[in-house]
Amino acid sequence: MKPWLFLLAFALPGLSPAASLQPLNADAVNVLLQPPAQGERFIALWSLDCAYCEANMQTLARLQQAHPERIELVTVATDSMAQRDAISARLDAAGMEHWPARAYADATPDRINYLIDPQWGGEMPRTLVIRADGSRHGLSGALTPEQLAKLR
């Protein structure tokens, strides 16, 4: 085997976006919540024990793919970064490895919940839409086509 192929084989797994799961602590929430320069940012809040979260993220991913110039998608696992491997595996299995991903990295997850959306009671899945004009809209539960239309 050529030496460069050998090195490439070991480098590719590290290039996977799911491997770039980033921590989300209270200080980083403000950056996440900044309005996008244009269009909308959809934040898909999910957890490892949520039965509907994968389908919800996949629905949002299809919407983003249909409107890549207007919609930015970020996934946020409310599980601890200590569960990095399980979170990354779940994102990969759901086909969500191509979108930016965050996971909670704070001793007080309820604080992060409140900082993200004071109206949110922690129910899953949760979708938060932040528009370029600074307005926000949140919706809990699995998204229906009608709800998607209201979010946009």
Domain that includes residue 95, residue range: 3-151
User: pLDDT for 72-102, tens place per residue?
Assistant: 999 999 999 999 999 999 999 999 999 999 9
CATH of the domain at 81: 3.40.30.10
pLDDT by residue for the chain (152 residues), tens digit each? 444 333 333 333 333 444 489 999 999 999 999 999 999 999 999 999 999 999 999 999 999 999 999 999 999 999 999 999 999 999 999 999 999 999 999 999 999 999 999 999 999 999 999 999 999 999 999 998 888 887 76
Task: Domain count for the chain, please give it.
Answer: 1
Q: What pTM does this model have?
A: 0.86
H, E, C per residue of the chain: CCHHHHHHHHHHHHHCHHHHCEEECHHHHHHHCCCCCCCEEEEEEECCCCCCHHHHHHHHHHHHHHCCCCEEEEEEEEEEHHHHHHHHHHHHHCCCCCCCEEEECCCCHHHHHHHHCCCCCCCCCEEEEEECCCCEEEEECCCCHHHHHHHC
